[in-house]
Homo-oligomer: A and B are copies of this chain.
Amino acid sequence: MVGTGPGPIDLMAQRAIDAIKKAQAVAGYRTYLDLISGLLAPGQEIIGSGMMQEVERCQKALELAEQGKYVALVCGGDPGIYAMAGLVFELARVNGTHPEIEIIPGISALNACAALLGAPLMHDFAAISLSDLLTPWKVIEKRLRLAAEADFVIALYNPASKRRQGHLKRARDIILEHRRPETPAGIVTGAFRQGQSIRLASLEGLTGDNHGVNMHSTVIIGNSRSFTWNGHMITPRGYEKKYSYWQS
């Protein structure tokens, strides 16, 4: 299982590149295969597929691995964060097979978006997906409420899709119960890819309709101490309390 990071080859680890080049078969969602097409060789079996076919794709990759093939299952970002790593283990368990599985981590959306926004994740944070395809919305709401109360920086995965337009606004409303309306928020769409967009907003302004938020976006909402400076979003770690020369 290979993490391809945000997109550009030069943000992938060499270990990930080597695994893809060495593979007899490469499986992955078509968007991610396109991003790494320069690494693929003519002799390789390619198992691409559209969205919503994750189970079939992982099952196919497992079957090939069980036949003794070296298979690279590629994931955008990191296979271990909201991606395919769990599904592969779950399927192997159901199948009753024990293929050798190695996970090569990648730079996930969290890391990529934080790097483009400034330094929003300097303190404790929570990652919450707003997709209710596999999780009841009630569970998502509860997590939003408690994360807001705990003053976590909050990274929202899957803030919107064509079918889910109102979730970001609903999340904003819940978080606003515990946090100032002017709390900084960052919206990154297509991080490190062509057409990348980086926007700063306030929590109050996250109504979802005016920031081009879509399925390629990640939203990061600051904690009670986050601030913006010079176009960057920053969460302080607490050094200013420790170092007297700070004020000098």
Q: Which residues in A have some Cβ–Cβ distance to B below 8 Å?
A: 3, 5, 8-15, 18, 54-55, 78-83, 85-90, 92-94, 98, 101, 103-108, 110-112, 114-116, 118-129, 133-135, 139-140, 142-143, 146-147, 149-152, 229-230, 232, 234-243, 245-246
Contact = CB atoms under 8 A, between A and B. Distances in A.
B89 A232 contact: yes
B241 A119 contact: no
A124 B245 CA distance: 39
Given A87-B237, A90-B240, A239-B87, A78 B10 contact: no
B122 A82 contact: yes
8 contacts: A55-B243, A78-B111, A78-B115, A82-B123, A104-B115, A124-B126, A126-B147, A133-B242
B146 A89 contact: no
A165 to B, nearest CB: 21
Contact of A93 (B54, B122, B150, B230): B230
Contacts of A114: 78, 80-81, 85, 103, 105
Nearest to A145: B150
Q: Copies per complex?
A: 2
A150 B3 CA distance: 28
Contacts of A140: 124
A167 to B, nearest CB: 14
3 closest residue pairs by CB, A with B: A134-B238, A86-B122, A86-B119
A143 B151 contact: yes
A4 to B, nearest CB: 11
B143 A115 contact: no
Given A142-B150, A238-B134, A239-B134, A89 B107 contact: no
Contact of A80 (B5, B14, B119, B128): B119
Given A10-B14, A10-B18, A55-B239, 6 more contacts: A12-B14, A83-B122, A89-B234, A94-B246, A123-B135, A150-B150
Nearest to A55: B243
A211 to B, nearest CB: 21
Contacts of A142: 150
A146 B150 contact: yes
B119 A237 contact: no
Contacts of A240: 90
B128 A127 contact: no
Contact of A238 (B11, B103, B106, B135): B135
